[in-house]
Structure 1
C-alpha cells in the first residue's frame, strides 16, 4: 500500500516545473529590487550630500561581516546540494545547519544595528528624523525598507531551509529527489545577491 503510494507520488512529481517555477519567482523578485534600486539611484542623485552624510552613520565593519556571513552561507548550502547527491545525509544536514546558523548571526547583527539607529531617532516617522533635511529622511526611509525587506526574505529562507533539514532527516528528501534542496539553494543565493547590492549602496556610499 505504502509502496504504490510512493510510486504514484514520484510519477506525478515534476522536477523541471518546480525548478522553472523557482526561476520565475526569482525573476520577479529581481524585478522588485531592481525597481527599488532605481528609486534609490534617483533619490541619491538628487540628494548626494545628504546621502553621503547619512551613509557615514552606518557601520561598515558590521556590513562587511554580514556580507562575509552570507557568502559563507551560500557556499554551505551549495555544498549541501552536492552532499545529498553523494548520499551523505549527515554532511548535508550539518551544512544546512551551518547555513541556518549564519542566517541567525546575520539577523542578530542586523537587530543590533537597527536598534542603534532607532535609538538615535532614525526610524522613519520619528520626530528626530523628520526634523532632518529631506535627503536624510529619504536615505533612512530606503535603508529601513530595503534592508527590512531583505531581512524578511532571510526569514522565509530560514523557514524553507528548516523544512529541508526536517525532510532530509526523515529521509523524504534524498539524492533521488533533491529538487526542494536545490530550490532552497537558488532562493538563498538570491538573498545573498540582493545583499551584495545593498551593502555598497548603503554602507560604502560614504
Structure 2
C-alpha cells in the first residue's frame, strides 16, 4: 500500500514538473517573440503599420487634416484632396510625394488627406463632399484651383513633377528647366522621404 502511494506521488510530481516546464517554455517563447523580435514598418506590404504620413513621409501634421474639405473650398486658396488608406503599399509609397508637396506649397495650398475608408456610403454626394470626387482608387489626388475647379485628377503613383507642374501653373511660377526625378531615400528605419 505504501509503495502504491509512493508510485502515485512520483507520477503526480512528474506531471507537475512537466507541466511547469511546458508553462515556462511557453512564457519564454512568448517573451522572445514579443520583446526580442523586431517591430518593422514595411512600405512594401499591404499590412496596417499605423498612419502612413507619420511612418513613411515623416509628416504627422498632414493627419488629421487642418481643415475639412468643405471649409477648404471656402478659402481663397488652391486645395489638394488626397484619398488614401493606411494599409496600401501604393499609398505608403505615395505619402512622401504628398509630404514633399506640402514642404513647398504648405503655406499657400490647403492639404486635405482623406482616408477612403472614412467616406460615408451614400447614394449621391454634393460637390463640397469628398465622396463626390472619390473614384474607388487609392491613392487618388485632386488639385483644385482657388475657384474650386479641378485642375488635376490623378490616380495611382502620380509623379511629383506632374503635380508640381500644375501648381506652378496655378501660381504663375517659372517652369522647371531641368529636374532630377525624385528617388526614395530612407533616413531612419521607420520613415522615408523624397530626395533629388
TM more than 0.5 = no
- Higher RCO, 1 vs 2 (CA within 8 Å, ≥6 residues apart): 1
Higher gyration radius (CA): 2
Instruction: State TM-score, norm by structure 2.
Output: 0.23
Instruction: State TM-score, norm by structure 1.
Output: 0.23
